[in-house]
Amino acid sequence: MRRLETRWGILMALPAILGFLIFTIGPMAASAFFSFTDWTIGASPSFIGLDNYTAMVGDELFWKSLTATTYYTLGSVPLVLIVSFAVAMLLNQKVRGLSAWRTIFYLPTLVPAIANVVLWIWIFNPDFGLLNSLLRQGGLPDSQWIYGESTAVPSLIIMSTWGFGNTMVIFLAGLQGVPRHLYEAVSIDGGGAWRRFWHVTLPMMTPTIFYNLVVGVVGTFQVFNQAYVMTEGGPNHATLFYVYYLFRKAFTESEMGYASALAWTLFMIIMVVTFLMFRNARRWVYYEMAGAR
């Protein structure tokens, strides 16, 4: 059995392994090599050892972009997780027109970014924008939103919440796998909705939550689009997200050597964070018994 499992295991993982060897590892290794070179696209790369990495230490924008990105990740990931979980629960109820409701809640994910940009620019407009109008009606102080240095990242975090659709769909799929007999057991014990949620839904959903957490963190550390289309990194570098900065170095300045070093530094950071999340997962993620073997 053991040998059979090994044979099948490798065989079934083979497409993925081959894919990694053919399509992924080569370009990764090439970029790792370039991170040790001074390479302006068009010229020849020359080996400079760790110079790119030491240059980063003194690069003010590197630190700025790392801070902005971490800020964004810490704000956006929990918010999106909570919102999408709540919506998934909502859309898992038996209601009339469920298909339509689900589609409506997924729509923001489907609308192209460029159409969204114009909308959000209006929402954030300091004078007649939606948010400030609401704040003023509520007698609250208004804000400069994406146009203020201190409010720009929080504004983009709020905006990112609208992209909850994909996370929500994964939760929705996960909710289908929660065995009903467990709910029955809680009900028989006289437990209400809250106990069912706390003692059944939440523990049974931990593998899905864990997935969304990891993917969320890996994804938001590489956040790019919002800075690219909404703020162009401004004002005053407030939303200069890491990958946006890297992208600019790589393709506007053609400094591919330095960009590669930036990329591999981020790689290490994400790697460490992910590793910690996986290690920590043993304490709170519930798999079917044998899954842990």
Of 49-57, 70-78, 90-98, the window that binds another protein (rule: CB under 8 A) is 90-98
Q: How far is 205 from 115, CA to CA, in rounded Å?
A: 34
24 touches another protein (CB under 8 A): yes
Pull the structure tokens for residue 188: 């028989």
Q: How many residues does the chain have?
A: 293
Per-residue contact track with another protein, 161 to 180, x per CB under 8 A?
-x---x--xx-xxxxxxxxx
DSSP state of 128: T
- The pair phi, psi for residue 47, each rounded to 5°, is -70, 125
42 binds another protein (CB under 8 A): yes
**Interaction of residue 23 with another protein, rule CB under 8 A:** yes
Least distance CB 175 / another protein (angstroms): 7
Alpha carbon distances (Å) from 87 to 122, 211, 280? 25, 17, 26
Tell me which of 68, 81, 87, 153 binds another protein, using CB under 8 A: 87
Cα distances (angstroms) measured from residue 203 to each of 142, 207, 209, 278: 41, 8, 10, 17
Which residue do the tokens 């390479």 mark?
Answer: 39
Q: Looking at 49, 57, 58, 118, which residue binds another protein (CB under 8 A)?
A: 118
Q: How far is the CB of 146 from another protein (least distance, A)?
A: 7
CB of 188 to another protein, least distance (A): 10
Using the contact rule CB under 8 A, the part of the chain among 48-56, 66-74, 236-244 near another protein is: 236-244
Q: Is 57 in the site for another protein (CB under 8 A)?
A: no
Residues 262, 56 contacting (CB under 8 angstroms): yes
Closest to another protein by CB, 63 or 122: 122
Nearest Cα neighbor of 281 from 212, 210, 213, 217 is 210
- Which residue from 58, 93, 190, 283 is in contact with another protein, where contact means CB under 8 A? 93
